[in-house]
Every structure is written in C-alpha cells, then in structure tokens.
Amino acid sequence: MDTIKLTIDNREVEVPKGTTILNAAKQLGISIPTLCHFEFKGMDVHNKPGGCRICVVEVAGRRNLAPACVTECMPDMVVRTNSMRVINARRTVLELMLSDHPNDCLQCSKSGKCELQALAIRFGIRSNPFVGPDHAQSSYQIEVSPSIIRDMNKCVMCRRCEMMCNEMQTVGALSAIERGFPAVVSTAFNQHLDHSPCTFCGQCVAVCPVGALTEVDNTAKVIRAIVDPSKKTVVQVAPAVRVALGEEFGMKPGSIVTGKLTAALKALGFDYVFDTDWSADLTIMEEGTELLGRLKRFLGGDKDVKLPILTSCCPAWVNFFEHQFPELKELPSTAKSPQQMFGAMAKSYFAEKINCKREDMVCISVMPCLAKKYECGRDEFKVNGNPDVDFSITTRELAALIKQANIDFTKLPEEEFDSPLGESTGAAVIFGTTGGVIEAAVRTAYEVYTGKQCPKIDFEELRGLEGIRSATIDFDGLPINIGIAHGLKNARKLLEDIKAGKCNFHAIEIMACPGGCIDGGGQPLHHGNGDIIKARWEAIYQADKEMPIRKSHENPSIQTLYKEYLGEPCGHKSHELLHTHYFDRQTTVEVDLNK
C-alpha cells in the first residue's frame, strides 16, 4: 500500500494514502477535538460533513485553516494542531455555536454526557462575546413522540442523526431544512415524528452529541408505580441490558451483570423481578412452530405459502416494513415480540396465579430500545384500553433510577430472577444480538422437525457483525437457507431481493439497529467506539454458554406454561394472546376522481 510521510506537531508519522489528518494525528496519540464527525468503526457508519470546524488545524503553505476530519494527508505536509491561531479559531467556533444554544446545562438530560459541554469545558469557555439579540437565536417547539423528544433549540446541525436515519437506516424521516438561523434537522413539512416514516429505532438519539434528541423519560412513572400500594409492579429485563448496564457504573464494556441487575431491581422495590428471556423462549416456541408450519406446507407443494418467514421481535423493524414495504406484510411471523408476549402472559397467566386484577398490575419493561416505548402503546396490545406492557424504560433510565436510589451497583450481591417468569435458557439471551433470534429458532426447530437431538448447539455460521449474512443449515437432510440482516439499510437490500423474486431464503432474521439490541437506541452511549459493541457482542455469547439449559423448548417453565395454560404452540389460546397482525402505514399519493 502507498504510504505518506508527514509531520504533525513536530513529529513525523507515516500513514496509508487517503488517511485524514485526524486519523494520522490519532496514530501519534494526538486527539484533535471533533463534534460533527462521527465514525462508527466496524459498522460502516461515517458522518464527516466537515461542517462544524471544531477540528481545524494549521497546514504550512495553506492560507486558511483545514478541517482535519476531511482533509487528506499529503506527502511532506507540516501540520500544527495546537498553534495559537488554531486554538483561537476553535474557541471562536465554540463561542459562535454556544451563542445559539440554550444555557440550561443544569437541567439538560444530556448533561455530563454532552459532547458540546465537554468541548466548552476542555477549552475553558467562561463567557461569550457573541450572545446576540433575541432575533439572532433560533427557537423551536419541543416535540414529544411516544419514544423520542426533539428539542431542536439544542441542535448544533452536526447532522449525525440525518446520516443515521438516511444512510444507516434508509428510513428517510429526517433531513436538514431551511437555511441560516432557522436551519435545523426536521421531518418533511416539519410534521410530528408520528406522521413521518420514523421507526423509533432511536439511532438518531444514540449519536446525537447534545441534548437535541433524547428518549422519553419514564423514570418518574416507575417510582410512582412502585410506591402505589394498590399496584403490583412486574418488571421484565431484555437480554441486551445485562451486557451493557455495567458501563453506566464504570464497569468495563462486556461485563455481564445479570445478578447485580436483578438485585438492583429488587432493591428498587419491584414486586416481581422477571426476565424478558423467559418470553424470548416463548417466542421461539411460537415463531419456530410457525416457521415449521410454513415449511411443511411449502415442502408439501403449497404454492401460496408465505416464505421466507421474517422475524418480528424488533418493533422498529416492524415499523419499517409497515411504512416502506407494506406489500410484504404477510411475510413476517405473526408472533408478538418477547416484550409483548411477556406483557400478555403477565397480565393473564401470571395475574391469575397471584389473583391480581389486570388493572391492578403495572407491567414495566427495561429495554435497550426506544421503539419498545412506542410498541407498548400500540392499540392491538391493549385490552379494554389497558396495555399489556404499561411502559418501557431504557438501560440508561434504569441506571439513572439505580443512582437516584443510592444503590452502589458495583457492590451489589448476585441475585436470581423470580419464578416462574424469570426462568430462561441460553437461546433467549442471544436474542440480544444480530443472528441470535434465528440461532435460537434453529436450535429448537431442528429438534422439533427431525425428532433428533441437534448435533451441535453453537451455530458459528450464523454469528458475526457483517451487515448481511447467510448460511445453510442441514436439518438432517433438508437444507434450510437462512438470511440475517441488521441495520435497516441491509434489511432493505434483502426486502428488495424478495420483491424481485431473487431470494431463496426460508427464514430471515432482521434487527433494526446495527449489531442488534446490544447497540439499541436506549443503551449506554458508545460515542462511536466499535470496541464497546464488540465487547457486548462477545458477552452475549458468553452469557449463553454459562446457562445450564440452552434450548428454548427445554425451558421447564415454558413447558409448564403450555401444559397448564396455553395448550400447544400456535394453538387457539396462543393465537389469541401471543400473535398479532400488521398494518399498511405507507404514505401514498392517489388520484382524486371527484375533483
């Protein structure tokens, strides 16, 4: 490979051709400040509009300062990253940005994690010469949707959210609009997010450097429910939470904190601490049975059978196909997501067991996800207006609750989930990452279909972090073609193939977020550090390995559930409680013949 030698801050460095000054400096341990720049290594995500100008450096022989994030190294370049001129320019850029930014850091939900605040601290901004008359400052209405709060007064126009929404997710809900001070990232015609193709995946929130995009905060609702003596609180925790929550307490990425997490939830005062992993096992029973049912019809020559079957655990993905591919809405499994299966079972099966009325139970979920907040509000998941899952909080919100309750998380003992909705298998925990749902389904479907024990349990061919993966699994002579996509742009590619009739998969797993739930919009912020995602990913498979039972159909609590309550997978009662249907939510233009 061609390399280039250059000098940065009086030190020589050799880098491959095409390297930016920013990355060359990094190689020398010089960290040039950035704001709009966002590079998510390993996920093929880049945002470098070169717009914020925080990263400017002095290049000898060049008249103006150069943005380091987009300027490529040239042979014998002489770069200064910390000259007086550079530092003054950076301060001016920061002061200008802060002149159009509210000074409410004390109340801002991003405080302490805000990248603009960090820069203001780093550069010692104490006053601002540019605070202008009122008309120079933009002002926008704060918008609250089921999952996301948009306070565009705080937007710094880095456009990372726009990049995630359009390039990573190909959702197209967000775009930069207007110009000058009114310029902002918004939806078409400035409409509410509810009226846009937004999937509530929350990847925009995950990359927002400031407090412009944040999650709807339900922590106060949690406390209210816990202290209400007339309510029984039932909490469920998603698989991906247990490999990320520790980061909020200074533990190293990839720490598996299942036991401490359980102890924390009990210390917070929830009446029943259960596990979404339990309902993930239930999902496999239903979805796996549905897959086998469709396969058998297909093998029997039924031409109308809907294949490939698509997983339906991810609510952002469900939103995506409802908005963008409604013509394929018969393909996804009708099985509800684990969150919703849990809610449905908690408020029927479990409520009957403890003799609690539906309306006296508050079912709360802890999710790595923002779309889950939206999902629990969907009408089809309510009975007489009472939702199966009352509301959902994110991993970040749980961390905030634990801190408020004076709980020293790292010193907590390891505790166990309550029974019976807390028993689970290794197959359930891998739901937390891309490829996990389909691997769990294969472990069960193989044994149900062939009636034999599966020769292996770790399907390495289904694992990985590449955007689109495929594998053929031998079901004792029957080859099953499996596709996997994560990140909605990758999902889109597979869906286009299906529409074009170029798809030979029997089953496809799709997760909206890059990496799956481990990188959900509600997880601790990773600030573009791909190593954190890798560590969570490894931890998920480690957690699977540590489980005594690793196949969903061997979960004794699930077996009892079918025996006592449901009958058989995909049976009458299951259909009523555990399956759903999808809607066409596409915006279309039609000719009005009356005009």
Partner 1 sequence: MDKIIIKMKKEVSDKIIEICDRFNNAPGELINVLHQTQDFLGYLPAEAQELIAERLHIPTAKVYGVVSFYSFFTMQPKGKYPVSVCMGTACYVRGAEKILDAFEKELGIMPGETDKAGLFSLTSLRCVGACGLAPVALVDGKVFGRLAPANVKSIVNEYREMDKQ
Q: Does 166 bind partner 1 (CB under 8 A)?
A: yes
Choosing from 126, 189, 477, 500, the residue that interacts with partner 1 (CB under 8 A) is 189
Q: Does 583 bind partner 1 (CB under 8 A)?
A: yes
**What are the backbone dihedrals phi and psi of residue 297, each rounded to the nearest 5 degrees, phi first?**
-65, -40
User: In whole angstroms, what is the distance from residue 590 CA to residue 456 CA?
Assistant: 53
Total residue count of the chain as it appears in this document: 595
Round the CA-based radius of gyration of the chain to a whole number and report it.
25
Q: Does 414 bind partner 1 (CB under 8 A)?
A: no
Phi-psi region of 287 (alpha: psi -120 to 50; beta: other; left: phi over 0): alpha
How many other C-beta atoms lie within 10 A of the C-beta of residue 505? Answer: 21
Yes or no: say if 362 and 234 are a contact pair by the CB < 8 Å rule.
yes
Q: Angle CA(357)–CA(361)–CA(362) in degrees, nearest 5?
A: 160
Place of tokens 């009458």: 572
**Region near partner 1 per CB under 8 A, out of 175-183, 212-220, 430-438, 538-546:** 175-183
Q: Does 595 bind partner 1 (CB under 8 A)?
A: yes
Choosing from 122, 176, 496, 520, the residue that interacts with partner 1 (CB under 8 A) is 176
Q: If we measure between CA atoms, which residue out of 374, 366, 331, 365 comes closest to residue 345?
A: 365
Q: How many CA atoms lie within 13 A of 552 on its CB side?
A: 35
**What are the backbone dihedrals phi and psi of residue 312, each rounded to the nearest 5 degrees, phi first?**
-135, 25
Q: Does 377 bind partner 1 (CB under 8 A)?
A: no
Residue type at 346 in one-letter notation: A
Q: Does 1 bind partner 1 (CB under 8 A)?
A: no
Residue 290 beta carbon to partner 1: minimum distance, rounded to whole angstroms: 26
User: In whole angstroms, what is the distance from residue 591 CA to residue 151 CA?
Assistant: 37
Q: Does 163 bind partner 1 (CB under 8 A)?
A: no
Q: Which residues are catalytic?
A: 287, 290, 313, 333, 372, 375, 380, 517
Residue 547 beta carbon to partner 1: minimum distance, rounded to whole angstroms: 39
SS3 category, 524: coil
Q: Does 197 bind partner 1 (CB under 8 A)?
A: yes
Residue 339 beta carbon to partner 1: minimum distance, rounded to whole angstroms: 20
Residue 167 beta carbon to partner 1: minimum distance, rounded to whole angstroms: 11
Choosing from 12, 304, 330, 590, the residue that interacts with partner 1 (CB under 8 A) is 590
User: In whole angstroms, what is the distance from residue 282 CA to residue 343 CA?
Assistant: 12
Q: Does 141 bind partner 1 (CB under 8 A)?
A: no
Choosing from 52, 55, 152, 174, the residue that interacts with partner 1 (CB under 8 A) is 174
Map the footprint of partner 1 across residues 313-352, applying CB under 8 A: 326
Strands (E), 402-537: 468-475, 478-486, 507-511
Q: Does 78 bind partner 1 (CB under 8 A)?
A: no
**Region near partner 1 per CB under 8 A, out of 114-122, 195-203, 348-356, 461-469:** 195-203
Choosing from 20, 71, 147, 187, the residue that interacts with partner 1 (CB under 8 A) is 187
User: In whole angstroms, what is the distance from residue 196 CA to residue 79 CA?
Assistant: 45
Choosing from 195, 224, 353, 572, the residue that interacts with partner 1 (CB under 8 A) is 195
Q: Does 62 bind partner 1 (CB under 8 A)?
A: no
Q: Count of residues binding partner 1 (CB under 8 A)?
A: 31
- Under the rule (CB under 8 A), what is the footprint of partner 1? 166, 171-179, 186-189, 194-197, 326, 583-593, 595
